[in-house]
Amino acid sequence: MDIKERIIEKASRLFQQYGIKNVSMDEIASSLGISKRTIYENFKDKEDILLSALLRFKQERDKHFIALLGQSPNVVDVFIKIIEEHQHMPICNVRFFEDIQKYYPRAAKLIREHVETNNNYLRDFLRQGIKEGYIREDLDVNVAAFLVEETTYTYIRASYLEKPPFSFQDLFYTMMINFVRGILTGKGIRIIDAYLEQQRTGK
Amino acid sequence: MDIKERIIEKASRLFQQYGIKNVSMDEIASSLGISKRTIYENFKDKEDILLSALLRFKQERDKHFIALLGQSPNVVDVFIKIIEEHQHMPICNVRFFEDIQKYYPRAAKLIREHVETNNNYLRDFLRQGIKEGYIREDLDVNVAAFLVEETTYTYIRASYLEKPPFSFQDLFYTMMINFVRGILTGKGIRIIDAYLEQQRTGK
């Protein structure tokens, strides 16, 4: 991996863990064992690293999603795989999103663009599921795609709860399983319920 | 209806329609054909009317919910009736919620208390549904109750969309139908899907 890639990867991880404001260029440099000057030879400023990180994340996500589509026998299976993957991902610090909204307008704009592209993918994906008979044909795909977007905000608001009566993992899991079961037809629900049963009994 | 009740009812309607800041004591008085003095004989200020309106709304909602529970053969039926009722309700102006958060701390506190009580009712109601076999026994009721609370914020954020590709009625309907289908067992889904089929075919 070249130095530019290494900086992006390390910075992403630090940003997600501590937020963006909280991470200095010095810390990024020292945690990579390089000089700050090397960072500035590759990036104009912190927002520049952030923008590269967001683009890289988007590219990887798209690539991964396309691979998932190729591997999965049906849309329900794609949802299940995404839910499973998220359960093992580290939780992103809510400050990451807050800092972007407050201090990094170019990053906020980029995220809005990404959300819009994702929304288009998602709508196509839902339509495919409807055609295949796994998703209810009376589903309003525009509303459904908006509800998926909303899950990020739900996560942000949960992080403001003084004493949340659940973990973020539980929140994500229940929210996603519920969403998916809500949009599926009987044929689709049979698949996800078989999966849930398997999880519960550990078989 | 005595004058106090009439003031509360008229003010509630105006607040929901235009927000709270936008409605003056003069407007409340003139739309009731009474003097501003009469209002001040009954209420200290606008927030005082607002607090009375919130309490009244809460009482009516609780009374109505208890009546629904008594009339309905099962929890699925209660959800369907609530969804149906909301479809015919006027949409509340998003400023109503925003004004409360920004300018009326006592009202915001009261709403938080009401949300908490509702949350407790809702959890009991979900547990009852689990016991009756209509709601999945592996459902995390704490997360589910939080997701219901969240629907208000989803509505608020939808109102910020520049060109929403759906109406608020569609948003509410899809969001609620999806939520309910998501938490139900096969036995519960058969009831709601029969209802949806009936709606679709108009029979």
Tell whether A40 is within 8 A of chain B (Cβ): no
Indicate whether A124 pLDDT > 70: yes
Best of B143, B162, B185 to mutate (most A CBs within 10 Å, chain A)? B143
Q: Give the burial class of A33: count Cβ atoms within 10 A of its Cβ; 0-12 exposed, 13-18 middle, 19 or more buried.
A: exposed
Split at pLDDT 50, 70, 90, the class of B203 is low
pLDDT tens readout for residues B143-178? 999 999 999 889 888 988 888 899 988 999 999 999
**Which range, of A113-117, B37-41, B107-111, B155-159, averages the lowest pLDDT?**
B155-159
- State the pLDDT at residue A203: 62
Nearest alpha carbon to residue A117 among A58, A69, A64, A75 = A58
Measured between alpha carbons, how far is B78 from B129 in angstroms, rounded to an integer? 11
Percent of residues, chain B, with pLDDT higher than 90: 83
What pLDDT band is residue B8 in, cutting at 50, 70 and 90? Answer: very high
Buried b (16+ CB within 10 A) or exposed e, A74-96: bbbbbbbeebeeeeeeeebbbbb
pLDDT tens per residue across span B12-48: 999 999 999 999 999 999 999 999 999 999 999 999 9
Closest CA to A176 of A154, A160, A191: A154
- For A63, the token pair is 């690539």
Please list the helix, strand and coil fractions of chain A in percent, rounded to the nearest 5, in that order: 75, 0, 20
Separation of CA B95 from chain center? 15
Query: Taking a contact as any Cβ pair under 8 Å apart, which residues of chain B between 41 and 70 contact chain A?
Result: none
Q: What is the pLDDT of residues A29-40, one digit of tens each?
A: 999 999 999 999
Residue ranges of B 153-192 with Cβ closer than 8 A to chain A:
153-154, 157-158, 161, 165-166, 170-171, 173-175, 177-183, 186, 189
CA–CA separation, A32 and A27 (whole Å)? 8
Query: Residue B166: CA atoms inside 13 Å, Cβ hemisphere, count?
Result: 19
For residues A178 and B183, the answer to whether their CB atoms sit within 8 Å is yes
- Identify which of A150, A170, A189 has the shortest CB distance to residue B143: A170
User: Domains in chain B, ordered, with CATH?
Assistant: 1-55 (1.10.10.60), 72-201 (1.10.357.10)
Closest residue of chain B to A196, computed from CA coordinates: B138
In a 10 Å sphere around its CB, with 0-12 CB exposed, 13-18 middle and 19+ buried, how is residue B62 labelled?
middle
Tell me the shortest Cα–Cα distance from B141 to chain A, in angstroms: 9
State the pLDDT at residue A40: 97
Mark yes or no for CB contact A150/B157 under 8 Å: yes
> For the segment A129-181, what is each residue's pLDDT rounded down to a tens digit?
999 999 999 999 999 999 999 998 898 889 888 888 999 889 999 999 999 99
Q: How does pLDDT run across A39-89, given as a tens digit for each residue?
A: 999 999 999 999 999 999 999 999 999 999 999 999 999 999 999 988 877
Give the mean model confidence (pLDDT) for residues B48-73.
Answer: 93
pLDDT exceeds cutoff 80 at B1: no
Report the C-alpha gap between A81 and B120 in whole angstroms: 33
Query: What confidence category does residue B124 fall into, taking pLDDT thresholds of 50, 70 and 90?
Result: very high
- List b or e across B170-188, with b for residues whose CB sees 16 or more CB atoms inside 10 angstroms: ebbbbbbbbbbbbbbbeeb
What's the confidence (pLDDT) of residue A161? 87
What the block records as the tokens of B172 is 């509410």
How far apart, in Å, are the Cα atoms of A127 and each of A144, A195, B164? 11, 23, 19
Are A49 and A16 contacting, i.e. CB atoms less than 8 angstroms apart?
no
Question: Where does the pLDDT of residue A90 fall: very low under 50, low under 70, confident under 90, or very high at 90 and above?
Answer: confident
Distance in angstroms (rounded) separating the CA atoms of residues A166 and A19 = 22
Query: Would you state the pLDDT for residue B200?
Result: 84
CA distance A72 to chain B (A): 22
> Quick one: pLDDT at residue A25?
96
Answer yes or no: do A166 and B139 touch at CB < 8 A.
Answer: no
ipTM: 0.85
Classify residue A136 by its DSSP letter: -
Residues within 8 A of A (CB atoms), B 89-148 only: 138-140, 142-144, 146-147
What are the structure tokens assigned to B95, written together?
Answer: 């400023």
pLDDT band at A200; cut points 50, 70, 90: confident
- In 3-state terms, what secondary structure has residue A135? strand
Plot region of B35 (φ>0 → left; ψ -120 to 50 → alpha; else → beta): beta
- Contact yes or no for B153 and A158 at CB 8 A: no
Name the residue facing A174 among B143, B186, B189 (closest C-beta).
Answer: B143
